[in-house]
């Protein structure tokens, strides 16, 4: 076969011989980068709000909004990383190029934090930045957002590409990959929020940024060293062009009548297709898009004239994902509060653990410890047990995992409001004896469990359900949800401050000024809790409406699965047990 051979799934395996590529041997390098890069990323994510207040002299709401806007931009820019790795570069090269930007940005932040000439003087305003210091500050943040976002857009898909979904054993391994990826992120983040945050707050911010720089650099070096072990997917046609083409052709053909039978729509033959995996069967949702697959009489099948059924179904898949994406935004708005206002709460609480003074930004280590323990329990105990009941490779479906996370996020915000009432009452009653920082562990711990369910569920959902040529872009939808959540947090803070200062008797907003003891942060938390409950009801509707592409394919193609159409139609996020039972009955009948 020469020095290069291409397998049926469309991946390039470099080298010759029978040495296997991919699998967990390749993913080890991905896990190392995930841990090393997130050491600094998560540490900065939880502590930058303090850096903005104490070094850049932003006020309370400006510090929170600057951080949430930065985080929102970071996750929004993950779409660029996904787009580039689907269309132009391999996933590995995409990660390394954006990784270089991330490391360079951290170097600039280290320089600014180490020199007073690049820092503003106190001025008593919401922001004191100006001139060269302002330019350097925002340039480094923009570069960091672009670099970190691009890495997140391509890295999960690079790891997931090491498994073939059509192999039953590798399909189970793929479900485990996302759990291990989250575990790697969690362990790295736990080290960061303890060690790096302590260094930043006690030895100097520049030392914290320096350690973040070194750890990220080492992680990217390790990832590059794993190149001989990876399965590399060949970049294809731009997914955005494919989406636009289907929409344009459907509009052009809007006056044409759809054929009575779906097999009369245009599709290339199996022998002309790169792989069976890339063919997607026709579905009846969004029938207007099917008009893009109408090949008119005596017309040549050319691009922008007709699209294949597979190309139309790709757009349908992404369209079906959008309500799920939108339903998770509120949860990530809640997450933003734990990285801004909850950290600001911690600064004015009792930081002592015995003789040790705990930095307020280190409180998120509590949910990270929860997750570090619970992820292995989930993977090795819960998943095997659930598989016996549901016969689902991941134990429960991805959308069920997300639903559990949404419920827990609402509980976390409700508890956050209760804890804030207790903290504020004690601070106003006896300022010399504030309550312990570890009261915040309740809201952080519950949200950590919620994040364990939701983040992995979304990553796996968007990767598995996406067309083969759009998996990086689709996986980026997870980060897009985070981006919208952070942006929505910024909007909520501004809107609520603006509205409440007009209707409150004191004529001051819930989140005004610098003194949390004179604010109504608890009302803001309860507002998010109520909104999360309403959002969960919305999510239930869309999760039951969604039809899994992969499970529909299994039901239609596997010879043993002789089930009727009514069972096929019930394969949504909350009907897996029913379907699995039907599959088991079908297998028993076949064997008898």
Quick one: 361 and 442 in the same domain? yes
Structural tokens at position 446: 């519950």
C-alpha 440 chain-centroid distance: 24
% of the chain at pLDDT higher than 90: 22
**Residue 259 in this model has a pLDDT that exceeds 90:** no
Least confident of 109-118, 335-344, 444-453: 335-344
**For helices 78-87 and 60-76, what crossing angle results, to 10°?**
10
Quick one: 362 and 451 in the same domain? yes
Mean pLDDT of 170-176: 78
Quick one: 492 and 372 in the same domain? yes
Q: What is the pLDDT of residue 105?
A: 95
| Structural domain range at position 24 | 4-235+328-545
Residue 321 forms part of a structural domain? no
CA 25, CA 309: separation in Å to the nearest integer? 36
How would residue 309 be classed by pLDDT, with cut points 50, 70 and 90? Answer: confident
Q: What is the pLDDT of residue 414?
A: 94
Residue 292 forms part of a structural domain? yes
CA 251, CA 449: separation in Å to the nearest integer? 45
Q: What is the pLDDT of residue 5?
A: 40
% of the chain at pLDDT higher than 70: 85
Dihedral angle sign, alpha carbons of residues 476, 481, 487, 489: negative
Mean pLDDT of 123-128: 67
**Residue 6 in this model has a pLDDT that exceeds 50:** no
Quick one: 420 and 510 in the same domain? yes
Residue that wins the pLDDT comparison between 237 and 474: 474
Residue 323 forms part of a structural domain? no
Residue 349 forms part of a structural domain? yes
List CB contacts of 281: < 8 A, sequence separation 6 or more.
Answer: 309, 313, 552, 553, 556
Residue 322 forms part of a structural domain? no
Quick one: 74 and 142 in the same domain? yes
Q: What is the CATH number of the domain that holds 29?
A: 1.20.1250.20
Quick one: 255 and 129 in the same domain? no
How would residue 125 be classed by pLDDT, with cut points 50, 70 and 90? Answer: low
Quick one: 271 and 205 in the same domain? no
Q: What is the pLDDT of residue 513?
A: 61
Quick one: 260 and 379 in the same domain? no
Per residue in 518-547, pLDDT (tens digit) is 778 888 899 999 999 999 999 999 998 887
Least confident of 15-19, 147-151, 471-475, 482-486: 15-19
Q: What is the pLDDT of residue 269?
A: 65
Among 255, 335, 291, smallest CA distance to 71 is for 335
Among 177, 154, 175, smallest CA distance to 24 is for 177
Write a three-state SS string for 528-570: HHHHHHHHHHHHHHHHHHCCCHHHHHHHHHCCCCCCCHHHHCC
Question: How far from each other are the two terminal CA atoms of the chain, in whole angstroms?
Answer: 44
Among 81, 61, 88, 82, smallest CA distance to 147 is for 81
Total domain count, the chain = 3
- The domain boundary residue, chosen from 294, 315, 336: 315
How would residue 417 be classed by pLDDT, with cut points 50, 70 and 90? Answer: very high
- Decide if 454 contacts 401 (C-beta within 8 A): yes
Q: What is the pLDDT of residue 563?
A: 34
Q: What is the pLDDT of residue 72?
A: 84
Quick one: 309 and 374 in the same domain? no
Residue 283 forms part of a structural domain? yes
Quick one: 426 and 280 in the same domain? no
Residue 320 forms part of a structural domain? no
Per residue in 376-401, pLDDT (tens digit) is 888 888 888 888 888 777 778 889 98
Residue that wins the pLDDT comparison between 295 and 278: 295
Mean pLDDT of 335-353: 80
CA 559, CA 550: separation in Å to the nearest integer? 16
How would residue 2 be classed by pLDDT, with cut points 50, 70 and 90? Answer: very low
Residue 124 forms part of a structural domain? yes
**Residue 569 in this model has a pLDDT that exceeds 60:** no
Mean pLDDT of 192-215: 91
Q: Taking the model in full, what pTM does it have?
A: 0.75
Least confident of 109-118, 339-348, 442-451, 570-579: 570-579
Q: What is the pLDDT of residue 507?
A: 65
Quick one: 347 and 493 in the same domain? yes
- The domain boundary residue, chosen from 286, 315, 344: 315
Q: What is the mean pLDDT of the chain?
A: 80
Quick one: 277 and 360 in the same domain? no
**Residue 553 in this model has a pLDDT that exceeds 80:** no
Q: What is the pLDDT of residue 369?
A: 84
């Amino acid at each position: 076969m020469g020095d290069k051979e291409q397998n049926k799934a469309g991946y390039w395996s470099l080298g010759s011989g029978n040495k296997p590529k991919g699998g967990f041997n390749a993913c080890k390098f991905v896990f190392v980068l995930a841990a090393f890069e997130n050491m600094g990323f998560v540490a900065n994510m939880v502590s930058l709000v303090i850096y903005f207040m104490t070094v850049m002299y932003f006020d309370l709401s400006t510090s929170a909004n600057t951080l949430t806007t930065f985080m929102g931009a970071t996750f929004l820019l993950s779409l660029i990383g996904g787009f580039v790795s689907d269309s132009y570069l391999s996933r590995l090269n995409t990660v390394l190029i954006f990784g270089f930007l991330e490391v360079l940005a951290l170097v600039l932040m280290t320089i600014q934090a180490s020199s007073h000439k690049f820092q503003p003087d106190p001025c008593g305003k919401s922001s004191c930045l100006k001139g060269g210091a302002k330019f350097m500050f925002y340039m480094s943040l923009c570069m960091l957002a672009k670099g970190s976002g691009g890495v997140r857009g391509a890295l999960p898909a690079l790891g997931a590409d090491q498994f073939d979904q059509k192999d039953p054993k590798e399909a189970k391994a793929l479900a485990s990959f996302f759990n291990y990826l989250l575990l790697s992120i969690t362990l790295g983040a736990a080290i960061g929020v303890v060690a790096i945050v302590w260094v930043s707050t006690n030895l100097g911010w520049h030392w914290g940024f320096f350690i973040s720089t070194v750890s990220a650099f080492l992680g990217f070096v390790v990832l590059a060293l794993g190149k001989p072990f990876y399965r590399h997917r060949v970049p294809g046609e731009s997914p955005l062009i494919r989406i636009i083409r289907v929409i344009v052709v459907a509009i052009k053909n809007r006056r044409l009548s759809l054929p009575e039978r779906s097999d009369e729509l245009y599709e290339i033959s199996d022998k002309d297709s790169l792989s069976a995996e890339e063919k997607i069967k026709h579905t009846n949702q969004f029938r207007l898009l099917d008009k893009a697959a109408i090949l008119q009489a005596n017309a040549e099948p050319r691009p922008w004239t007709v699209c294949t059924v597979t190309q139309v179904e790709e757009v349908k898949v992404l369209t079906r994902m959008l309500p799920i994406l939108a339903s998770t935004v509120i949860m990530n708005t809640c997450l933003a509060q734990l990285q801004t206002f909850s950290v600001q709460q911690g600064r004015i609480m009792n930081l002592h653990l015995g003789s040790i003074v705990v930095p307020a930004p280190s409180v998120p280590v509590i949910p990270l410890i929860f997750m570090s323990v619970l992820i292995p329990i989930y993977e090795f105990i819960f998943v095997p047990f659930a598989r016996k009941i549901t016969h689902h490779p991941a134990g429960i479906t991805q959308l069920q995992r997300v639903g559990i996370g949404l419920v827990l996020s609402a509980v976390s915000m409700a508890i956050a409001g209760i804890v804030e009432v207790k903290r504020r009452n004690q601070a106003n009653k006896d300022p010399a004896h504030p309550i312990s920082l570890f009261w915040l562990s309740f809201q952080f711990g519950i949200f950590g469990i919620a994040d364990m369910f939701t983040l992995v569920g979304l990553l796996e959902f968007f990767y598995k359900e996406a067309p083969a040529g759009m998996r990086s872009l689709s996986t980026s939808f997870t980060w897009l949800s985070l981006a919208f959540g952070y942006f929505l947090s910024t909007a909520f803070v501004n809107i609520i401050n603006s509205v409440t200062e007009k209707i409150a008797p004191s004529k001051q907003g819930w989140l005004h000024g610098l003194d949390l003891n004179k604010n109504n942060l608890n009302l803001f938390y309860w507002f998010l809790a109520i909104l999360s409950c309403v959002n969960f009801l919305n999510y239930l509707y869309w999760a039951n409406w969604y039809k899994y592409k992969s499970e529909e394919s299994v039901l239609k193609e596997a010879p043993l699965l002789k089930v009727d159409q009514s069972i096929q139609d019930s394969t949504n996020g909350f009907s897996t047990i029913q379907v699995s039972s039907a599959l088991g009955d079908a297998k028993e009948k076949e064997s008898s």
